[in-house]
Structure 1
């Protein structure tokens, strides 16, 4: 879609002073998908030269905000949690053209409940690195970064530079469940479980069915009733998302169902 209110596209390396009407341009798959009448200038991140994926000395995985879904999908994943990356990449309702343009950072910054990069990075305890116009930086867990449907913890002009997944989370055993009303439709519920490789803590992360990521942690292996009570307590009735891709009652039902299936897969089938 043409954005006929945009007067200038400027390289991020020479952007100048941030002003009202500016927006960061990553892959552009959202920006160019619908009218953006409030925008006057796009700050293009495509030539920043950020390394898409980098393993740190500590074994953490740093994912640049400009890393595309295709780059993430094609990259080697030698970790126990490796299969989860492809499962979340495949949860996109997107063509191959979108895969090659859409970015991890853009998916997070859209903050939509069905954003599978939100699901992936929240479930693996990802931490967002945010850079302000003043040059100051702050870190925010992905689970706290998205606070509502399309609502993020971002200040005006603030840039999501990267998301870091800790080595400990990458070594976790995981389980993945997704539901859609259609065969290739947008996720109506997406629940991920992970078992900590050191202390055995079970973490269940609920996304897509809720307006924000919801994480439940069980230091002691829970039974079915404990998981059900935890979900009931953690998600308010008004936090189940309501749109054409699923009614709240259905999303709630699938959330409870998937949480229990994940508990059984990761704990009971493992003999715990």
Structure 2
């Protein structure tokens, strides 16, 4: 048992387990049910426990489960859910073809958080402000969800169910994140605005464009901190698809984004400020992605 009477650290009692395999992790989840919580990097769970918002009976660390770690490049990209943000930010495979994801990882809080935080933890936390989520959405990511007896693949766009909520069922673990290979002529970019570098975003946005000559033949635009979940903006995507890649077209699409998002006012930013920022960073990201798409390689 772990116990500390200093409520600024970890007040509740809890058991701790460090399985060496997914099979062991599944067995622990099956035995302890909803009383167990998974620990990846711990950058969110430990904060929630210190603030006494969560009091799990058992903390199951996935740090020893090597099956969850690693980046594999094939036709697309397969990322183990336990892969750290720092590893992603430095990966040549990510940097070469998935620029928006690389930039999202580079914008991820502090260096210490980047070394501890994992991709799986970031998306399973299901924060509307998760930095990697918009980038993964524009790269058409899906997640592999496994349990003791089954495995399923879920598009990331269908994974988030609300603030702090996902489609994960009891006993399930996200094991991988998969990104298909981008089409030729693809460019992508990520932008983030926050109060200070280490803060979560006031608004973050990612875009991906497919360029064929002077025209846009494919487009994805996603944002964080502007709705209950990370979201794509379908109307803006449709407005750009088939259009010429001009500054005017990008400005009009950014205006649609500002109209269609659903931001709130809170301690970090007002609703009107978030709309203004969204318009600005989406326009900038589109221009950058368009330029990258014309450089002869997917980025």
Q: Secondary structure at the match of 2:229?
A: coil
The aligned counterpart of 2:81 is: 65
- 1:13-49 superposed Cα distances (whole Å, 9 cap, x missing partner): 4242241211112112211123254311122222221
Separation in 1 of the partners of 2:268 and 2:184?
A: 31
Q: Match of 2:253?
A: 227
CA RMSD in angstroms, aligned pairs only = 2.9
Report the CA distance shift for 1:241/1:164 in structure 2 as closer, same or farther (over 3 A): farther
Q: Is the partner of 2:120 in helix, strand or coil? A: helix
8 A Cα contact 1:186 1:245, kept in partner: no
Q: Secondary structure at the match of 1:157?
A: coil
Task: Give the corresponding residue for 1:127.
Answer: 142
Of the structure 1 ranges 82-91 and 158-167, higher mean CA displacement relative to structure 2 is found in 82-91
Structure-2 change in CA distance of 1:22 and 1:262 (3 Å): same
Listed as ranges, the gaps of 5+ residues in structure 2 are 1-8, 295-299
1:101-140 correspondence to structure 2 within 5 Å:
101-133=116-148, 135-140=149-154
Choose the corresponding residue for 1:155, options 160, 163, 169.
169
Q: What residue is the counterpart of 1:257 in the other structure?
A: 280
Instruction: Summarize the Cα distance change of 1:79–1:177 in structure 2 as closer, same or farther, 3 Å threshold.
Output: closer
Q: CA deviation at 1:188?
A: 0.8
Is the Cα contact below 8 Å between 1:79 and 1:170 reproduced in 2?
no
Q: Tell me, yes or no, if the aligned pair for 1:79 and 1:171 is still in contact at 8 Å.
A: no
Q: Could you tell which deviates more after superposition, 14-23 or 167-176? A: 167-176
In the alignment, which of 94, 100, 104 is matched to residue 84 of structure 1? 100
Secondary structure at the residue paired with 2:117?
coil
Higher helix share: 2
Q: Distance in 2 between matches of 1:13 and 1:53?
A: 21
Deviation at 1:225, TM superposition (A): 7.1
Aligned pair count reads 264
Deviations 1:126-167 (A, max 9, x none): 10111134x222222222212322222222222111110111
1:204 matched to 2:221: yes
1:175 & 1:41 partners in 2: Cα distance?
A: 40
Residue 20 of structure 1: aligned partner: 34
Q: Which residue of 1 aligns with 2:14?
A: 6
d(CA) in 1 for partners of 2:37, 2:185: 36
Q: Is the CA contact 2:12–2:55 (under 8 Å) kept in the aligned structure 1?
A: no
